[in-house]
Amino acid sequence: MKLLILFVSTLLFGTADLTGIRQQYLNAAKSAQVTQDLYDSLKDVSDSSSENTLVAYKAAALTLRAKHEKGMLTKKKLFTQGAKLLEAVIERDADNYEARLIRLSIQENAPKITGYNKKIAEDKTFIIRNYKAQKSDLKEYTQGFVKVSASITKEDKAAFN
């Protein structure tokens, strides 16, 4: 049923709805199939699309695909491709709150060997500073992330109430 809704929304709106994409992203780390479904729903989004949030989720899907791959070279290729795409999104749209939230979640969960953890403090500060200006659905989504975040301290969590 979920796939049918995703398919219909893709036909009607060109891409899947952001709420559905967010939910898939939350579940993707646990399942190779959900990760592939997330990527499939975003693969037609152009890397240079003005829909920067969707491009950021596409980048995240690439990094998550790396997690579920078996070969080290394929893992590295997918992760690097996703990280570069996400960095490009943030470079062209530095104030994109959701892209920064995605990057923070990836950095927290990326294997240390990738070296993809240099902007955790920057993203955390950005998220805290800009949280109150977000719409309620994105605030709720952020609160879910904050509950499980390794970089958001107990003191920082007060900013998300």
Residue 89 CB partners (closer than 8 Å, separation 6+): 52, 55, 56, 59, 96, 99
> What span, in angstroms and rounded, lies between the C-alpha atoms of 48 and 134?
24
- The verdict on pTM exceeding 0.95 is no
Asked whether residue 38 carries a pLDDT value surpassing 60, the answer given is: yes
Angle at 79 between CA 60 and CA 122, to 5 degrees: 60
pLDDT tens for residues 112-151? Answer: 999 999 999 999 999 999 999 999 999 999 999 999 999 9
